[in-house]
Amino acid sequence: MNWEMIGSIGEITAGIGVILSLIYVGKQLKQSNTMARSSFRQELSSQANHWAMSIASSPSLAEALAKVHFEDLERNDATGPERMHIAYAIVGLVGQMFFAFKHWKEGILTDEQFAELYSPRNALLSKPYLSTVWSQLRPGYSEEFNEWFEQWIDLGDSEFNHISSN
């Protein structure tokens, strides 16, 4: 055996090592992405549960939201505390939507998963309360989210999937 053959065997061995390393890194990335998606879904679920528990533990908040959902309570007909409850409920919903929107744009959520989360519009987001609260919240969010959110609010539920895939 000469040095040339030994060098060739070394190159082949190194090539195999590189290929095996790439396969390993690919599997690690896939596992990491799966964990990130799982972690995000857990966080979103935790936020939704917290929001639901806030409503369940506050009779006055539950009453105000029930009036909006079931009695079409107009802004001028709401008491001061009801308006505050409703405003903060909107703040919470918009914050959750931004969190999901950001992860959707980063590819952590698929179009289908994102559309599943927000295709049924919440009654709070189509009522007169939204315009007042949104005018105060808007500067704190990215222009991309603002455009998406405003378009989503303006269109009916049937148009949601079209918006989410743009």
Q: What is the pLDDT of residues 133-142, one digit of tens each?
A: 888 889 999 9
The per-residue pLDDT for 164 is 43
- Of 26 and 56, the structure prediction assigns the larger pLDDT to 26
Amino acid at 23: I
The per-residue pLDDT for 140 is 92
The per-residue pLDDT for 158 is 39
CA gap 130, 123 in Å, rounded:
10
The per-residue pLDDT for 128 is 67
- Confidence (pTM): 0.63
The per-residue pLDDT for 127 is 59
Q: What is the pLDDT of residues 149-160, one digit of tens each?
A: 888 877 544 344
The per-residue pLDDT for 165 is 42
Residue 61 pLDDT greater than 90, yes or no: no
For residue 62, count other CB atoms closer than 10 A to its CB: 14
The per-residue pLDDT for 33 is 81
Q: What is the pLDDT of residues 68-84, one digit of tens each?
A: 766 666 667 778 888 88
